[in-house]
Amino acid sequence: MRRRQFVGILGGAALWPFAARSQGTAAPVIGFLSPSTNSAANTEGFFVGVRELGYVDGRNIRIESRWADGKLDQLPKLAAELVRLNVSVLVTSVTEASLQAKKATSTIPIVMAAVGDPVAAGLVASLARPGGNVTGTSSLSIDIVGKQIELLKVVVPGLSHAALLWNRDNATYQALQLREAERAARTAGLELQLVGARSAGEIPSAFDSIKKGTQALAVLGDAVLVQHATTIAELALKKRLATVGLNRGWARAGILLTYGPSFFDLHKRAATYVDKILKGAKPADLPVEQPTAFELIVNLRTAKALGLTVPPSLIARADEVIE
């Protein structure tokens, strides 16, 4: 098991951004907007990142956080609240929050964290030259879904039929993933069924639509679906489906395997953008960073419940094993 370690609070006054300190102004206010809950492990990286850079909330910086708790229709209102506060920088977690923040302001610097495809979403002009008021980190790695399907083939003997769960309201980001999943399935000789769910109420019916004989389920990364990861894991277990998801939140909810970029790391790296912007850098001049850290997590409890044996070679590769 890997345990996250929190750094101690550093002396904040010494690391106060020079411009603010020399002018005697109040500590800058940073807005943080997320479609998930304030207990989400993925977003925790940002708050660790600002601490490691020497910022102390309430001393040399103030952080105003807004959480949508999986209710995407609340994001416009929450983004508007932060804009009215005239924050110095607005940090946004994943695609949905970033899109709403950009709609809310064209002047306040926006630092996005773990956005799927910021170019396709219209958030930046390009990764190298973002332009405008938005920059940050992207989770873009289209071949992730293909690697997830390969992992399912490793743990499910004779896998021939699989399903893929996606959010039909999140087509901007997931369209590329869907195409990659279908390509990977053809390469692997799998019959792949797409099942969609846009809300908690649609998840049970999505599972009911999965064809008899399906052996595995891949779940695309999505801010709505992840709020109901435990429900999805339980329904998959009832249908005896081996599952794969994107990050550690899914594994802890009971998904068999997760593989993808470290969202903790992507959020932590977003803090470095905030630091640069507070010191005078412009978002338009800061290239968008793509993922460099990837995680494989294996849930052996789920494997046991499904009667599956995870190969020792796969366990040896895992960054975390849940027993």
What pLDDT sits at residue 173? 63
Nearest alpha-carbon partner for 155 in 303, 294, 316 = 303
Instruction: Give the whole-angstrom CA distance, residue 311 versus residue 316.
Output: 9
24: left (phi over 0), alpha (psi -120 to 50) or beta: left
Let me know if residue 3 belongs to a domain: no
pLDDT at 303: 97
Q: Mean pLDDT, to the nearest integer, of 117-124?
A: 90
- Is residue 135 one of the residues assigned to a domain? yes
126 with 175, same domain: the answer is: no
C-alpha 137/C-alpha 259 separation (Å) is: 18
Total domain count, the chain: 2
Q: Which two tokens stand for residue 276?
A: 């640069």
pLDDT digits (tens, 9 = 90+) for 217-240: 999 877 778 888 999 999 999 999
Taking a C-beta distance cutoff of 8 angstroms, is the pair 308, 155 a contact? yes
**Domain range for residue 312?**
144-261+295-322
Q: How far apart are CA 259 and CA 248, in angstroms?
A: 8
Tell me whether residue 55 is in a domain: yes
Q: Is residue 7 part of a domain?
A: no
In a domain, 247, yes or no: yes
- Phi, psi of 259, deg, nearest 5: -150, 130
Whether residue 248 is found in the same domain as residue 162: yes
User: What number of CA atoms fall less than 13 Å from residue 20's CA on the CB side?
Assistant: 20
Across residues 242-250, what is the average pLDDT?
90
pLDDT of amino acid 83: 97
Give yes or no: residues 179 and 227 share one domain.
Answer: yes
Percent of the chain exceeding pLDDT 90 equals 70
- Same domain? For 116 and 204 the reply is no
3-state secondary structure the chain: CCCCCCCCCCCCHHHCCHHHHHHCCCCCEEEEEECCCCCCCCCHHHHHHHHHCCCCECCCEEEEEEECCCCHHHHHHHHHHHHHCCCCEEEEEHHHHHHHHHHHCCCCCEEEEEECCCCCCCCCCCCCCCCCCEEEEECCCCCHHHHHHHHHHHHCCCCCEEEEEECCCCHHHHHHHHHHHHHHHHHHCCEEEEEECCCHHHHHHHHHCCCCCCCEEEECCCCCHHHHHHHHHHHHHHCCCEEEECCHHHHHHCCCEEEEECHHHHHHHHHHHHHHHHCCCCHHHCCCECCCCEEEEEEHHHHHHHCCCCCHHHHHHCCEEEC
Asked whether the beta carbons of 153 and 304 are under 8 A apart, the reply is no
Residues 6+ apart with CB under 8 A from 143: 180
Residues 98 and 172 in one domain: no
Answer with the residue of higher pLDDT: 14 or 136: 136
Does 63 lie in the same domain as 25?
Answer: yes
Confidence check: pLDDT of 54 > 80: yes
Whether residue 185 sits in one domain with residue 318: yes
Amino acid at 182: E
Is the domain of 288 the same as that of 313? Answer: no
Residues 214/241, Cβ–Cβ less than 8 Å: yes
In this prediction, residues 317-321 reach a mean pLDDT of 95
Position 2 in a domain: no
User: Does one domain contain both 277 and 185?
Assistant: no
pLDDT digits (tens, 9 = 90+) for 64-110: 999 998 888 999 999 999 999 999 999 999 988 999 999 999 999 99
Answer whether 0.95 is exceeded by the pTM. no
Query: Domain of 256: which CATH number?
Result: 3.40.50.2300
pLDDT at residue 161 above 50?
yes
- In this predicted model, what pLDDT tens digit does every residue of 279-311 receive, in sequence order? 999 999 999 999 988 999 999 999 999 999 999
Spatial contact of 192 and 164, defined as CB atoms under 8 Å apart: yes
307 and 219 assigned to the same domain? yes
Q: 311 and 281: one domain?
A: no
Q: Which amino acid is at 302?
A: T
Please check whether residues 121 and 172 belong to one and the same domain.
no
Residue 293's contacts (CB-CB under 8 Å, 6 or more residues apart) are 261, 262, 265
Q: How many CB atoms lie within 10 A of CB 279?
A: 11
Q: Among 114, 86, 107, which Cα is nearest to 283's?
A: 107
pLDDT value, residue 279: 96
